[in-house]
Amino acid sequence: MKTPLPKVNEIEHKWYVVDAKGETLGRLATQIATRLRGKHKPIFTPHLDTGDFIIVINASQVRLTGNKATEKPYKTYTGFTGGLKIKKASEMLAKRPEDVIKLAVKRMLPKNTLGGLQFKKLKVYAGSEHPHASQLPEKLQFTQ
């Protein structure tokens, strides 16, 4: 007996809203990455995009445990000599809190074209408002 594969036009992508207020960054990112990939669905297929759309609100209020706020480095390189720029997690949360969650999730997705497509389904906002009300997103609560 063959295992049935889902057809691309039959895959249903739902929209979910996740409130990051008070959530731990790593635990939140793993749950989001799992949902983006579609691993929570019984029709999961590694070479197809079976995941859902995730909207994260209150990204500025995500929690970092231990000394990560003062010690965790975020590195970017300009490509020029001496162009390594290092920011601490507290600076990132103050200026661009969306990027902290985006980077955590992006690094958990596959490093290929499919991972890029799955990452595009993540929408992150620092405040509690988002412009995706017309998609009728459901509230998603992760169990710890």
Which residues have C-beta within 8 Å of that of residue 91, sequence separation ≥ 6? none
Question: Does pLDDT of 143 surpass 80?
Answer: no
The per-residue pLDDT for 144 is 61
Dump pLDDT digits (tens) for 44-61.
999 999 999 999 999 999
Dump pLDDT digits (tens) for 104-138.
999 999 999 999 999 999 999 999 999 999 999 99
CATH number of 14-139: 3.90.1180.10
The per-residue pLDDT for 123 is 98
- Report yes or no: 51 and 40 within 8 Å, Cβ to Cβ: no
Q: Where are the beta strands (DSSP E) in the chain?
A: 15-19, 53-57, 73-77, 84-88, 122-124, 138-139
Q: Which tokens belong to 131?
A: 């412009």
The per-residue pLDDT for 72 is 96
The per-residue pLDDT for 2 is 84
User: Would you say the pTM of this structure is higher than 0.85?
Assistant: yes
- Strand-by-strand arrangement of the 53-57 sheet: 122-124, 53-57, 15-19, 138-139
Task: Report the run of H or E that residue 113 belongs to, with start and end.
Answer: helix 113-119
